[in-house]
């Protein structure tokens, strides 16, 4: 060995030394060892090519780590059910139930007899108990699956009579008419966009009718010269009435007077009600089917039912949500604006104590995610410069707000109260980087 300068390429840290770095070691827990090793190898290669110093390899590898999986975000948008943010957050009870059910579980076994039992009976019993007007209930993967199962089992090769005012797109380009026709049912459209009468339905009903479908327009409103036949009227037609209420409200909520609920819809005479589990019910993604025992039985035993069978984790979360209906979604909807104002003011004052200026402004929150399109909820927000939006969204703890007229508003209605400190820390980090 001579005394000359060491070839920089020989100073590139070894893989095992790099993987022992606490930051990279921690990343293997979420990303998996192979993905971290690939990132490390790339950083070593850059050093060998002379693009970075050998001393910089560690930090370069850490900086190049990909984000792991879906990341938790703080929803300060003021949109209670945001489809892009996973709709309803689960309650602590539902989270605990998911964890408990994640190993082997008695989802389909009666431990007292040792025999097979009805799958998910706890969730199904809880749903039946929550809606005594339903003779029978069934649960599938989501609201769309509930509709597809109903259409396939009750109307394949037959007709579904539906108002032109209710042929809705539910989001991301998916349209209910396309979904229903994919089952082999034919849509018999009646009425017009703004007006459909009972007589329109009556004229279309015949021997080929599978059922009349009533869809709640859950993401838009038609106002002005309008009329529609309600479930109570449709129930006089002498054919099954399937009502897609969308939101999953089980009972009427005075806060949301125009939002249909399963109990009232069944009392009005619907034969079958379909709904989502992760909207106003505040539970996991699921499709709820409630109604006449003979129809629910046909759905349960249809071959397609197996393809939309719901997972054990969903069943566990749904049961816990029904047993503990005070969900985060419910809290977000019903929180008093005065309480929100106090939280925002405290946040502003604490930021002020750190020399950071923010304003408290009134805001309007909405239900979103397919529910109560006309409802505005009075709220309060922290108002920040618009340029905070991107760094807050892309930071270690992503915080999503809403840009209104050149300001970034952070509405605390859907932020858990114990996360105010995390919002403060995230804003401070951005403000510090802004200096």
Ligand X SMILES: *Cc1c(COP(=O)(O)O)cnc(C)c1O
The site for ligand X (CB under 6 A) is made up of: 142-144, 170, 215-216, 218, 244, 246, 276, 287, 370
**Between residues 276 and 329, which has the closer beta carbon with respect to ligand X?**
276
For residue 79, how many C-alpha atoms fall within 13 Å in the half-sphere facing its CB?
18
Query: CB 12 → ligand X: shortest distance, Å?
Result: 50
Which of 186-224 are b and which e, b meaning 16 or more Cβ less than 10 Å from the residue's Cβ? ebbbbbeeebbbbebbbebbeeebbbbbbbbbbbeeeee
Q: What is the DSSP letter of 13?
A: P
Q: Would you tell me how many other CB atoms lie within 10 Å of the CB of residue 59? A: 13
From CA 70, how far away is CA 283, in angstroms rounded?
18
**Between residues 13 and 283, which has the closer beta carbon with respect to ligand X?**
283
**Between residues 263 and 276, which has the closer beta carbon with respect to ligand X?**
276
Query: CB 170 → ligand X: shortest distance, Å?
Result: 5
Q: What CA–CA distances, in Å, run from 275 to 168, 194, 197? A: 15, 24, 24
Collapsing DSSP states into helix, strand and coil, what is residue 207?
Answer: coil
Query: CB 244 → ligand X: shortest distance, Å?
Result: 5
**Between residues 210 and 246, which has the closer beta carbon with respect to ligand X?**
246
**Between residues 372 and 392, which has the closer beta carbon with respect to ligand X?**
372
From CA 106, how far away is CA 11, in angstroms rounded?
56
Q: What is the DSSP letter of 223?
A: -
Q: Would you tell me how many other CB atoms lie within 10 Å of the CB of residue 81? A: 27
Query: CB 296 → ligand X: shortest distance, Å?
Result: 18
Query: CB 166 → ligand X: shortest distance, Å?
Result: 9
**Between residues 143 and 283, which has the closer beta carbon with respect to ligand X?**
143
Query: CB 318 → ligand X: shortest distance, Å?
Result: 13
Q: Would you tell me how many other CB atoms lie within 10 Å of the CB of residue 138? A: 26
Q: Which of 71, 74, 81 is nearest to 418 (CA)?
A: 74
**Between residues 40 and 272, which has the closer beta carbon with respect to ligand X?**
272
Query: CB 287 → ligand X: shortest distance, Å?
Result: 6
């Amino acid at each position: 060995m001579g005394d000359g300068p060491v070839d920089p390429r020989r100073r590139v840290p070894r893989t095992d030394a790099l993987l022992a770095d606490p930051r990279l070691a921690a990343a293997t827990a979420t990303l998996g060892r192979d993905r971290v090793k690939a990132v490390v190898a790339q950083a070593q290669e850059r050093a060998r090519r002379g693009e970075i110093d050998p001393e910089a390899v560690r930090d370069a590898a850490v900086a190049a780590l990909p984000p792991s999986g879906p990341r938790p975000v703080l929803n300060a948008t003021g949109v209670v059910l945001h489809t892009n943010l996973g709709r309803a957050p689960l309650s602590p009870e539902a989270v605990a139930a998911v964890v408990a059910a994640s190993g082997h579980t008695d989802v389909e076994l009666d431990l007292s007899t040792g025999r097979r039992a009805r799958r998910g009976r706890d969730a199904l019993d809880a749903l039946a108990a929550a809606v005594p007007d339903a003779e029978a209930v069934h649960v599938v993967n989501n609201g769309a699956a509930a509709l597809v199962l109903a259409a396939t089992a009750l109307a394949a090769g037959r007709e579904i009579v539906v108002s032109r005012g209710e042929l809705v797109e539910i989001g991301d380009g998916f349209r209910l008419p396309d979904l229903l026709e994919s089952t082999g049912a034919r849509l018999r459209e009646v009425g017009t966009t703004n007006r459909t009468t009972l007589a329109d339905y009556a004229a279309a009903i015949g021997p080929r009718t599978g059922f009349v479908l009533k869809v709640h327009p859950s993401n838009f409103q038609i106002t002005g010269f309008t009329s529609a036949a309600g479930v109570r009227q449709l129930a006089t037609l002498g054919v099954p009435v399937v009502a897609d209420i969308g939101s999953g409200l089980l009972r009427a909520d005075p806060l949301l007077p125009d939002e249909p609920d399963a109990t009232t819809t069944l009392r009005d005479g619907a034969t079958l009600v379909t709904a989502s589990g992760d909207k106003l019910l505040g539970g996991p993604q699921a499709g709820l089917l409630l109604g006449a025992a003979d129809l629910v039985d046909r759905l349960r035993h249809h071959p397609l039912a197996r393809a939309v069978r719901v997972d054990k984790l969903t069943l566990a979360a749904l049961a816990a949500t029904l047993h503990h209906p005070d969900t985060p979604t419910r809290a977000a909807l019903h929180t008093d604006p005065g309480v929100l104002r106090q939280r925002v003011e405290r946040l502003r004052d604490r930021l002020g104590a750190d020399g950071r200026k923010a304003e408290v402004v009134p805001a309007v929150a909405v239900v979103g995610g397919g529910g109560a399109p006309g409802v505005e909820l009075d709220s309060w927000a922290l108002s920040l410069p618009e340029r905070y939006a991107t760094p807050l969204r892309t930071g270690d703890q992503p915080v999503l707000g809403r840009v209104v007229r050149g300001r970034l508003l952070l509405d605390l209605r859907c932020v858990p109260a114990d996360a105010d400190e995390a919002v403060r820390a995230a804003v401070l980090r951005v403000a510090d980087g802004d200096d």
